[in-house]
Structures are given as C-alpha cells and as structure tokens.
Structure 1
Amino acid sequence: MLGSADLPEGIDEVFGGSIEIGWQATGSNRYDALLGYPAFGFGFLTYGFPQTGILGKPNAFYLFLNAPFKRWNKFSLNYILRLGMSYNWEPSDPVANPSHLALGSYRNLYISAGAEGQYLIGEQLSASFGVKFAHFSNGQSSLPNAGMNLLTPHIGIKYDFNGGDRPKYIKYPKPEFTEKGMVYYVTLGNGIRQIFFTPDSTTATLLPKQGVSYPVYNISMGAQYQFGWTGKLGGGVDFIYWGAYNPDIELGQGNVVQAVEYPFSDYLQLGIFISYEFVLNNISIIAQPGYRVIRKEYKGMPTDFYQHLGLKYHVHNLIIGVGIRAVNFGQAEYIEWSLGYRIRKPKK
C-alpha cells in the first residue's frame, strides 16, 4: 500500500491465517474427472498489518476450489480459487481515519487466486506451499475504492478425515459431449456507484469528500453456444440505467444536499458484449467484454469499453449471479447482483 503522511514508507508487511473445510471429489459425476478430482468447500481467514492499525483487522468467509494442473504419485501442482466477503476493515474517513486511502467500507468483496504444491506425507496428512494473490474491493459502492492487493506466500497442513481412503484419481477418456446447443438467457442486475464531491459555496454543509450513492440497473439478454463440457461462447446486449449520469449536487428543500436530477432518457444506455463462460457443473465463471454503443455524453464519463467478470449459480434454469463491472481492466464501476432465467435448446 502507498504511503501517507503518517506512514511515508507505506505498508509492506502482512500476516494471516485461514482454516478450511472441504470435500474431495471422488468421481461421482463427470466433472470430477474432467477437472482432475478437485477439492471444494468453504473457509475463514484473518489478516493483520503489524505496521499500523488504520486498516483494521479484516476477516473473510469464502468458497474455495483447489484443482490440479498435474498430479503425480504423492505430489500435485494445483491452482487455487477463492471468492467471498470480508469484513472488519477500518474504513477511510476524512475525519476519523484520513490516512487510510484504499477502502471506504467496512465490508469488501474478497477474490483470490494462486498456485501451490501439495505433498502427501502420510496416509491422512499432506503439506502445501505456494503463493496467492488476493484482491479486496467494494466495487465503487463506497469511496475511496483504490482496492487492496496482497501477494503472499503460504504454507499449510491438510488432514484427511476419511481415514486415508483416497480416491484412485483414475484418468478416464474424456466423454463425448452430446448436449451441444444454444442457451438463451435474461438477467436483471443491480448495483450502487458512489461518487465523491468537494464542498463549495453552495454546498458548504457537505462534509469533506462526502460520497453520494447512485443506483445502476442492467437488463442483459444473451445467447450462447455450449460447445463442450466446460465451455460456452456467445454475446448479447445490455440495457443500462446509469444513475450516475453527469453526477452533480445541489441544495434542496431545507438546505439538504441532494443529487441533481435529469430527464429519464439521459440515464439510459445500450451496450453490446461478447461472452465466454467456464462451466463447472451448476457453477459458471463468466467474462464479458462490452462496448456502450448508445449513451448521452458528459464530462468525466467512463470509457465506452467495459468489462464484466462474474460468478453464476444455476438452480435448474434459474440464474443467481454476482460480478464486478469495470473499465480499464481493473477500475471497478460497481458490484452487480443479479437474477435471471435461461432456456436451453439442444442441437438436434
């Protein structure tokens, strides 16, 4: 983390620990073998920053997936994915905590990825060692949102509660995918984008760097072709209500600071996107780069090219999703929560 007046050399020390409870795939469904018999479950982590107390002592609950790049007799090289929600941050505050310049919220989304080696040292015990990259963000729902990035080595011990009865990790021939076809879907998403304002002569009652929250709604309609067990490719359109159009503030009735209102049509935008979806049974990871083709321009507006990275869970044909909408491949606009429905049309 960059330095401040109180910490001119910045923050470069962090320690933490985690505990996880999970399940080892045994080959009970086709995806077990396709993904190399992964482990999945949930966990809890905690971090500390010994150089300062301005960041708080954050914790997080998360879901995890560990799957092998390559597996040998007693050793495997794995990739690791984590997604969850963190809390107990000490948020930035212009009065109470002005030295914290990264995050303006008590709760923040937690995303982590990395690689590790795992070595079996007994029938029920194995050791792991590797490196993880972690990112914390509130998706611009509360400012500031510079984000927090941590790159840390890790070591761990894993215990098998199944008495050493491990799956045989049989590498079956990849089965033919017979369900190729189109998938049509519609989702309704919502998020909050916060913008800072500096007080002037007409808004002197505004606190320094006070944020105003604007709603964002998005209706996505798309079509994808599922070409294999783990992949879908397609595209679609985004119908966007951009509540943060030309953000400005004014004094309303009773000298209350409020957002300036514009005609409804000024808030409307249309985007088009291409989509790739990595399928893990009922869970999918989606990546959707898009471009705003219709919108009313204003000073300081974000770029037309935008990105959407998210997670979807399917309950039959119902879609439950969460993702980050961003620009410039890293500047979050907002966190989007969504619900939707899909219709599958298998190829005849």
Structure 2
Amino acid sequence: MTPQTYCLFRRGWLALLVLSCSLSIAVRAQEHTAEEVPVRAPLIVGAYAQGSIIMAHTPAIRHLVTSHPTGFELNFQRQTTGAAPWHGWYKYPKVGVAFIYYDFHNPILGHALAVSPYINKSFSHGPRHDLSFRLGTGLAYLTNPYNRETNHKNNMASSAFNATLQFRLEYDYALTPHLGLLAGLGLNHFSNGATTKPNLGANLPTLVLGLNYHEFRAAPRVNVSAPAPADLGQTFYNVSTSLGYKQRSESDRQKYLVHSITAAVGRRVNRKSNLVAGAEGFYDKSLKAQLKDTTRAGIKQPDVKKAGVFVGHELLFGRLAFVSHVGIYVYNPYKSATFYYERLGLKYQFTNVAFGAVDLKIHRGAADVVEFRIGARL
C-alpha cells in the first residue's frame, strides 16, 4: 500500500465514537407515517471466520509482520424497507452492528475486541445472490498496547482503546431460503488518531467466510416514491465548539488540550447532500510546549492561535451525516504544520437545533487531533 493510500485509511477512523448515532439510524429507519404500511425490517444474523495478514505500510513496523491474525465475527443487521425516505434514496441498504474478536498470534500485539456499527450497500441483488459493499466504524480494545518498560516494540498502537474502520466487499449466495453462504474481501484498520503516540496503526487485509441466517430474503418495501425532503434548497447556519487532546511526542507523555470554535453557513442541495462553508479559530496548547523547547531564551514567541476558512460536504443518512472539510489557515503566525487542513467526521442531529460530532483533523494525511464537537443549527 502506498503512503497516500495508507493515509486515506488512517483518516477514516474518525467516524469512530459516534456508535450510538449509527445505532439510532437503524432504529429510526423503521419509523413510518400514518399513510404508510407498517413493515417490519427483516433480520439477518451472520457468523464469519476471518483470516488476515499484517500490512507493512511503513518500514518501522516490519518487525511485527511475523504472523497471520485470525478472527471471528458475529453480526446482526436489518434490511431497510422504505419506512424512512432515505432508504429509497440509497436503494435500500442494510444497517447493522458487528462484534469482532481477533488473535494476532503475536505476543507483542496480543488480541483485539471490537464493536462496529456499519452500513451495507447492495450493488447486485437477486433471488439467490447479493453483492454488496460494507463500511463500518467503531471502537476496539487491544490487549497489548505500547508500554515503554514492558512492551516497547509495539509501535502500532500505544493505547488500549482505538477506533476501528472496516471496508469489505461481500457476496452472499442462498443455500436454502433462509441460509446464505457469505464470502468477503476487506480491510480492517485500528488506530487511535494520534491521541497517544506511537501510533502507526494496524492494517489487516482480510478474507471472510461464513453463514448468514435470513429471516426472509424478499424484503417488503414501502414508500418507493419518497418525496423530496422539506428543507431541500434551504439555507441554514451552524455554530459549534470542540474539545480534544493530543500527545506531542513519545518522549512527552503529557496530554494537551486543543480547542476550536466554528461558524458556518450551509445549504441542502439535494436529497443526500449539504454544502457548507465557514470560519473557525483554533488554540492548541501543545504548540506552546513545542515553542518552549525550540525557542531560545529572550526571543519573543509567535502566537500559537490559528484561524481558518473552510468549505465542505455532508453526506446525509437521515439524522446522521458523514462530514468532509478542507480548510486554509488565514491567521497562522506559528507555522507548525501545513497551510491547509482537512477534517473527516460523523455528525448527528439530535434535535432540529442541537447536534454533536466526532471529527478527525488532519495535516497532509497525518492525524492531528480528534475533536469532540457540540453545536446548534439556526
């Protein structure tokens, strides 16, 4: 894998801790109006074995590429039926949650436990087959993280709790009306988003083989001609604030607070998308510590506060949105990183006004900080 590709996978983790949002979507997906026919979403239960290799995406982890991890997954998913308008807009995807166990077969790396909500989009569906792509993100617990005294060779992960990201192409073939054989090819990724260092992350290309139990395959669908959303073409305004923390280096074990405030304007341009633009300010306390170490005594230190402007996109799934931004620093006296930044995250609209988000702020493909955000839509 090229460094650019690895960076892309590494960014994706930010969808990470909004697990409850994904689960809420699965529940809200079954809501219906008085004019619609109530339809219960069919349940699918899967049990899969997984076999992986550890990808040496950087020479620094080659000493860990000595085994072939194996795992087991149990998942529960619902087939959307059209009870919410966005089901039809996305051609009736499945939503679910997976429980995953991994044995790295390496005493330095240990074992992993993960919980991952996901969405599964079908590309080709027939009476006896289903070809689909799955994207999931969640929380993982690694049993043997980096420890300077007892486990200093594990530079993949320095914290027990990490985010996990899954990409997978799946093919389900009907053996019986209720039982399906599933084969898949995917990638599992573990990372803490540079909250603690070292954090080179783990990439596991994975083969999957297992069985699915289908409550019934032919899912009833209602509301096929779902109307356009009521806010299509409308302008909205967001104000928000975020907090995060980061470790500056392996030698400095202290965690530093990172704070931001944001004001944005947006517009819903179609059923699936919002476009947004805004301005924001940042204050990163780790930069003060960095200046203290690198500036000679008596020399005036530059301001570490930053301000930027950004444009972005929100991909909508009901109340949940996948957020992607790119911004430029317009006030940046202390040039500690690139002149531009990116952000990927998950945002959930709890009410018509209040929302929350978890974002990953990035500089040139490297994680800078995980932001926990609250805000209001006006």
TM interval, shorter chain, is 0.7 to 0.9
Could you tell me which amino acid in structure 1 is paired with residue 286 of structure 2?
A
* Pairing 1:36–2:91 present: yes
CA contact (8 A) 2:195 2:245 kept: yes
CA contact (8 A) 2:142 2:162 kept: no
Residue 345 of structure 2: aligned partner: 310
3-state secondary structure, aligned to 1:33? helix
Equivalent positions of 1:45-60 (< 5 A) are: 45-50=100-105, 52-60=106-114
Seen in structure 2, the aligned counterparts of structure 1 residues 334 and 53 have a Cα distance that, compared at 3 Å, is: same
Listed one character per residue, the Cα deviations across residues 99-150 of structure 1 (whole Å, up to 9, x for unaligned) are 1111110110111122212223222222222212222111211110111111
Runs (4+) off by over 6 Å = 3-7, 262-265
Aligned residues: 317
Could you tell me which amino acid in structure 1 is paired with residue 68 of structure 2?
E
Residue 30 of structure 2: aligned partner: none
Residue 61 of structure 1: aligned partner: 115
Could you tell me which amino acid in structure 2 is paired with residue 17 of structure 1?
F
CA contact (8 A) 2:302 2:334 kept: no
Seen in structure 2, the aligned counterparts of structure 1 residues 242 and 8 have a Cα distance that, compared at 3 Å, is: closer
3-state secondary structure, aligned to 2:207? strand
Could you tell me which amino acid in structure 2 is paired with residue 187 of structure 1?
S
CA contact (8 A) 2:85 2:226 kept: no
Seen in structure 2, the aligned counterparts of structure 1 residues 149 and 101 have a Cα distance that, compared at 3 Å, is: same
Could you say which structure has the greater relative contact order, defined with CA pairs below 8 angstroms and 6 or more residues apart?
2
Equivalent positions of 1:138-149 (< 5 A) are: 138-149=192-203
Shift of 1:71: 2.1
CA contact (8 A) 1:4 1:99 kept: no
1-structure distance, mates of 2:60, 2:369: 29
* Pairing 1:230–2:272 present: yes
Residue 219 of structure 2: aligned partner: 167
* Pairing 1:342–2:370 present: no
Residue 174 of structure 2: aligned partner: 120
- Share of identical aligned residues, percent? 23
1-structure distance, mates of 2:322, 2:360: 12
* Pairing 1:21–2:76 present: yes
Per the normalisation by structure 1, the TM-score is: 0.83
CA contact (8 A) 1:324 1:334 kept: yes
Residue 43 of structure 2: aligned partner: none
Q: Higher helix proportion, which one?
A: 2
Seen in structure 2, the aligned counterparts of structure 1 residues 216 and 265 have a Cα distance that, compared at 3 Å, is: farther
1-structure distance, mates of 2:197, 2:226: 48
Residue 247 of structure 1: aligned partner: 289
Could you tell me which amino acid in structure 2 is paired with residue 58 of structure 1?
A
Residue 46 of structure 2: aligned partner: none
Long gaps (5+) in structure 2: 1-54
2-structure distance, mates of 1:196, 1:104: 12
Seen in structure 2, the aligned counterparts of structure 1 residues 165 and 75 have a Cα distance that, compared at 3 Å, is: closer
Seen in structure 2, the aligned counterparts of structure 1 residues 263 and 229 have a Cα distance that, compared at 3 Å, is: farther
Stretch deviating more after TM superposition (9-18 or 167-176): 167-176
Residue 361 of structure 2: aligned partner: 325
Seen in structure 2, the aligned counterparts of structure 1 residues 168 and 249 have a Cα distance that, compared at 3 Å, is: same
* Pairing 1:188–2:241 present: yes
Per the normalisation by structure 2, the TM-score is: 0.76
Q: Higher strand proportion, which one?
A: 1
3-state secondary structure, aligned to 1:326? strand
2-structure distance, mates of 1:71, 1:20: 20
Shift of 1:11: 3.5
1-structure distance, mates of 2:334, 2:146: 31
CA contact (8 A) 1:138 1:334 kept: no
